[in-house]
Amino acid sequence: MPQRRRLVAGNWKMHTTVAEAVTLAEAIRASLPAQPGCDVVLLPPFVSLWAVGRHIAGDSRLQLGAQNVHWAPPGAHTGEIAAAMLVDLCRFVLIGHSERRQEFGETDRLVHRKLEAALTAGLLPIVAVGESQAQHDAGRARAVVAAQTRAAFGGCSEDEAARCAVAYEPRWAIGTGRAAAGSDAVSAADAIRRALRAMFGPVADTIRILYGGSVDQDNAPGLFAEPAIDGALVGGASLRPGPFCAIVAAAGSLG
């Protein structure tokens, strides 16, 4: 089984002005362990990518990503951002976050097209999947995340898949303060891993599977103690340098 380096990504969502984003990045830098022992990715709003990127340039502890990308090449899509426009700014991109799926009607098909566009541009995608409360209650979490994984990655080559991470984010756990139980996160990660193995064989075991949904400094150590969980996608807590860096430290110490 390949050793997977843990990854902690902070999704700042639609928070922070440019100045606030730089201040937050600076505060995170100040509190970050000297050697985090895991990959740490900041996902500020598009408008702050350049400024935050400049600020963290040269700090090998931090990497940068975007929260979204359009599926088409540069062209007439007012208000959108193409993958080719991101490559100068950041390495990572989050695709298929449940807020995009719910608020903007992003379907599995669109998630797949965005993944293709990101990979073609050379970005490192983090693909988010996760079930709703109703699907969870109906015992369908594993089936839902496996189907979303197959839909997102169908048609990708092994090399392309190896450049991706998957974030399991049960919708009912996002921003609610109600993180999934470790056993639920492990079960969903297992379903995702099996779906990836069916498509990509042994390469699937190199792909990092993160957990996201109300991760904080208190529940992070327990999550990271699960070998099936390779890191975290952090929303609310990523806006607070102390808790975010504590999560990073937990990931690094168990990495």
Q: Which residue is nearest to ligand PEP (CB)?
A: 235
Q: How far is the CB of 77 from ligand PEP (least distance, A)?
A: 24
When the beta carbons of 153 and 211 are compared against ligand PEP, the nearer one is: 211
Q: Is 33 helix (H, G, I), strand (E, B) or coil?
A: coil
When the beta carbons of 169 and 184 are compared against ligand PEP, the nearer one is: 169
- Cα–Cα distance between 171 and 130 in angstroms, integer? 6
CA 176 to chain centre: 18
- Structural tokens at position 100: 């995009």
- Cα–Cα distance between 216 and 179 in angstroms, integer? 9
When the beta carbons of 37 and 175 are compared against ligand PEP, the nearer one is: 175
Q: Residue 236: name the closest of 144, 99, 70, 136 by CA.
A: 99
Is 169 a catalytic site residue? yes
Q: How far is the CB of 173 from ligand PEP (least distance, A)?
A: 6
Q: How far is the CB of 234 from ligand PEP (least distance, A)?
A: 5
- Cα–Cα distance between 127 and 168 in angstroms, integer? 9
User: What torsion do the CA atoms of 84, 67, 219, 178 make, to the nearest 10 degrees?
Assistant: -150
Q: Give the binding site for ligand PEP (CB under 6 A).
A: 11, 13, 97, 169, 174-175, 212-215, 233-237
When the beta carbons of 65 and 212 are compared against ligand PEP, the nearer one is: 212
Do residues 18 and 47 touch, judged by C-beta distance below 8 A? yes
Q: How far is the CB of 85 from ligand PEP (least distance, A)?
A: 23
- Of 97, 106, 131, 160, the catalytic one is 97
- Of 99, 106, 131, 169, the catalytic one is 169
When the beta carbons of 195 and 215 are compared against ligand PEP, the nearer one is: 215
Do residues 212 and 232 touch, judged by C-beta distance below 8 A? yes
Is 15 a catalytic site residue? no
Q: How far is the CB of 74 from ligand PEP (least distance, A)?
A: 27
If you ran DSSP here, which 8-state letter would residue 105 be given? -
- Cα–Cα distance between 169 and 139 in angstroms, integer? 16
Report, as residue numbers or ranges, the catalytic residues.
97, 169
